[in-house]
């Protein structure tokens, strides 16, 4: 059925997967399907370790947004990367959840923050919990404001870029979601947002 669908839309398996890696890889990490991950890497003819690190923000954002599976998914991801990096002692020694988060901090946080503006209350709550989970993994506390403040300018800048289609055309509904997320971000970050509000350009 999948093969027939791809043939109908004129895509090969390789084209299809390359186009959808940011969705496919997080789903496979969440389900801890190592075999499928290796198959994807084989089809797109890329190193699995590079695929994972290139898409780490998408993977981590989904891990944090699904708080009931955060710990197991991150444990699976780190252990898999450790095994894939055995031949690179320097990279292996620096591998940790905080280091992975630092490498993609702004992208990761923006993906979670946008969900704060979702019209579904459950999704909004999941995003709030995701920020707390991310804060705990990075700082060993739940002070979300302190967690966000060092990179707040980058976060707001990227949200503004998304509103103004700098990162590609966004639908009107998605832009409304981003605008709503600003309000939630201000409530959650509290005093950490002071001094940054002039940067918001709607």
The pLDDT, as a whole number, for residue 173 is 93
User: Confidence band (pLDDT; 50, 70, 90) for 169?
Assistant: confident
Domain ranges of the chain: 1-103, 105-189
Find all residues with CB under 8 Å of 108, minimum gap 6, and list them: 56, 57, 60, 61, 64, 101, 134
Q: Specify the pTM.
A: 0.88
Read off the pLDDT of each residue in 87-105 and give the average, rounded to a whole number: 85
Number of neighbours of residue 180 by Cβ within 10 angstroms? 16
**Residue-wise pLDDT tens digits, 1-59:** 455 666 666 678 899 999 999 999 999 999 999 999 999 999 999 999 999 999 999 99
Place of tokens 């944090």: 64
Q: Is the pLDDT of residue 90 over 80?
A: no
Read off the pLDDT of each residue in 98-124 and give the average, rounded to a whole number: 95
Query: What is the average pLDDT value for the chain, to the nearest integer?
Result: 88
């Amino acid at each position: 059925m999948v093969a027939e669908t791809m043939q109908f839309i004129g895509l090969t398996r390789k084209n299809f997967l390359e186009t959808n890696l940011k969705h496919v890889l997080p789903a496979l990490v969440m389900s801890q399907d190592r075999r499928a991950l290796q198959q994807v890497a084989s089809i797109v003819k890329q190193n699995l370790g590079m695929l994972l690190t290139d898409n780490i923000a998408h993977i981590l954002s989904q891990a944090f947004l699904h708080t009931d599976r955060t710990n197991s998914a991150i444990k699976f991801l780190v252990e898999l990367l450790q095994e894939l990096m055995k031949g690179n002692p320097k990279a292996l020694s620096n591998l940790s959840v905080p280091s992975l988060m630092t490498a993609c901090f702004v992208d990761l946080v923006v993906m979670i923050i946008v969900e704060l503006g979702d019209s579904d209350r459950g999704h909004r709550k999941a995003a709030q919990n995701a920020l707390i989970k991310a804060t705990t993994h990075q700082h060993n506390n739940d002070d979300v404001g302190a967690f966000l403040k060092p990179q707040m300018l980058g976060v707001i800048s990227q949200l503004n870029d998304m509103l103004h289609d700098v990162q590609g055309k966004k639908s009107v509904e998605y832009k409304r979601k981003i605008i709503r997320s600003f309000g939630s971000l201000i409530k959650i970050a509290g005093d950490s947002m002071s001094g940054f509000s002039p940067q918001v350009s709607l």
